[in-house]
Amino acid sequence: MADGARCPALGCVVEYMEGNAVQIALVTEENGGYLRLLLPNRRETRLAASRLLPWSGPLHTPGLSKEQSLRILEQHKTTREERAAAVAPLEVWEIARGEVARAPARWFAELFSDSPDEDMVAAYGRALLTCKSHFRFQPPDFLVYTGEQAEKRLAEQRAREEREAITTGGGAFFRLLWDIACKKRTIPERGDNVPLVREQLSPEVAERLKAVLHAKMRDPENQEHDALWTMLAKGLPDVPHLPLQLLAAWGEVPEHHNFWLDRAGYAPGDAWWRPLADEAQDIARAARNRPLPECGLPFVSIDSPSTRDVDDAFFIEHSEAGFTLVLALAAPALFWPFDGRLDKAVLRRATSLYLPEGTCHMLPEFLGTDVFSLIAGETRPALCIRLSSDRDGAVGPCEIFVVGARLAANLNYADCQAVLEAVQSRAPLPDNAAAPYADMLRAGLELARLRQQARIAGGAVIMNRPEPVLRLHGEGADTIVTLERDKPCRDAQNLVAEMMILASGAVADWAAERDIPLLHRTQDVALPKEYAGVWTKPEDIARIMRALVPSCLEVRARRHAALAVARYAPITSPLRRYADLVNEAQTAYFLHNGKSLWDKETLARMLGHLLPALEATGQAQRFRPRYWKLLYFRQQGDKVWWPGVITEENDAFVSVSLPEQGLFVRGRRQLFDERAFPGMSVSVRLGKINPLYNEVQILETAS
- Read off the CATH number of the domain in which 662 is found: 2.40.50.140
Question: H or E element: which one contains 300?
Answer: strand 300-303
Same domain? For 481 and 500 the reply is: yes
pLDDT value, residue 185:
66
Inside any domain, residue 156 = no
Same domain? For 468 and 515 the reply is: yes
Inside any domain, residue 157 = no
CA–CA separation, 571 vs 91, rounded Å?
70
Same domain? For 301 and 340 the reply is: yes
- Please give the average per-residue pLDDT across 83-101, as a whole number: 92
3-state secondary structure of 501: helix
pLDDT value, residue 476:
87
- Residue 135's φ and ψ, nearest 5 degrees, are -135, 145
Contact in structure between 701 and 676 (CB atoms under 8 Å):
no
Same domain? For 211 and 287 the reply is: no
Beta-carbon contacts of 468 under 8 Å, excluding residues fewer than 6 positions away, are 483, 484, 485, 660, 661, 662
Same domain? For 305 and 434 the reply is: yes
Contact in structure between 175 and 235 (CB atoms under 8 Å):
yes
Question: H or E element: which one contains 385?
Answer: strand 379-390
Higher pLDDT, 603 or 234: 603
Inside any domain, residue 150 = no
pLDDT confidence band for 168 (50 / 70 / 90): confident
pLDDT 10s digits, 564-582: 999 999 999 999 999 999 9
Burial degree of 568 (CB within 10 A; 0-12, 13-18, 19+):
buried
Name beta bridge partners: 641.
Answer: 685
Same domain? For 560 and 646 the reply is: no
Contact in structure between 436 and 411 (CB atoms under 8 Å):
no
Same domain? For 116 and 51 the reply is: yes
- Please give the average per-residue pLDDT across 199-228, as a whole number: 86
pLDDT value, residue 184:
65
pLDDT value, residue 655:
95
pLDDT value, residue 197:
46
pLDDT confidence band for 199 (50 / 70 / 90): low
Inside any domain, residue 680 = yes
Residue 306 CB-half CA count within 13 A: 6
pLDDT 10s digits, 528-538: 999 999 999 99
Inside any domain, residue 676 = yes
pLDDT confidence band for 218 (50 / 70 / 90): very high
CA–CA separation, 382 vs 404, rounded Å?
6
Residue 607 CB-half CA count within 13 A: 19
- Please give the average per-residue pLDDT across 384-413, as a whole number: 95
Enumerate the H helices of 277-426 as residue ranges: 277-289, 341-349, 365-366, 413-425
Contact in structure between 1 and 138 (CB atoms under 8 Å):
no
- Please give the average per-residue pLDDT across 364-378, as a whole number: 97
Same domain? For 308 and 438 the reply is: yes
Same domain? For 118 and 79 the reply is: yes
pLDDT 10s digits, 259-305: 999 999 999 999 999 999 999 999 999 999 988 999 999 999 999 99
pLDDT at 192 over 70: no
Inside any domain, residue 261 = no
pLDDT value, residue 194:
42
pLDDT value, residue 165:
73
Angle between helices 578-593 and 341-349 (to 10 degrees): 130
Inside any domain, residue 259 = no
Which of 626, 658, 688 is the last residue in one of the domains? 626
Query: Which residues form the domain of 393?
Result: 274-626
CA–CA separation, 317 vs 557, rounded Å?
31
Inside any domain, residue 118 = yes
Same domain? For 374 and 282 the reply is: yes
Same domain? For 236 and 375 the reply is: no
- Please give the average per-residue pLDDT across 39-54, as a whole number: 93
Burial degree of 504 (CB within 10 A; 0-12, 13-18, 19+):
buried
pLDDT value, residue 98:
81
Average pLDDT over the chain, rounded to whole?
Answer: 92
CA–CA separation, 590 vs 41, rounded Å?
92
Same domain? For 543 and 663 the reply is: no
pLDDT value, residue 402:
97
pLDDT value, residue 156:
85
* The total number of structural domains that make up the chain: 4
pLDDT 10s digits, 448-498: 999 999 999 999 999 998 889 999 999 988 999 999 988 889 999 999 999
pLDDT confidence band for 609 (50 / 70 / 90): very high
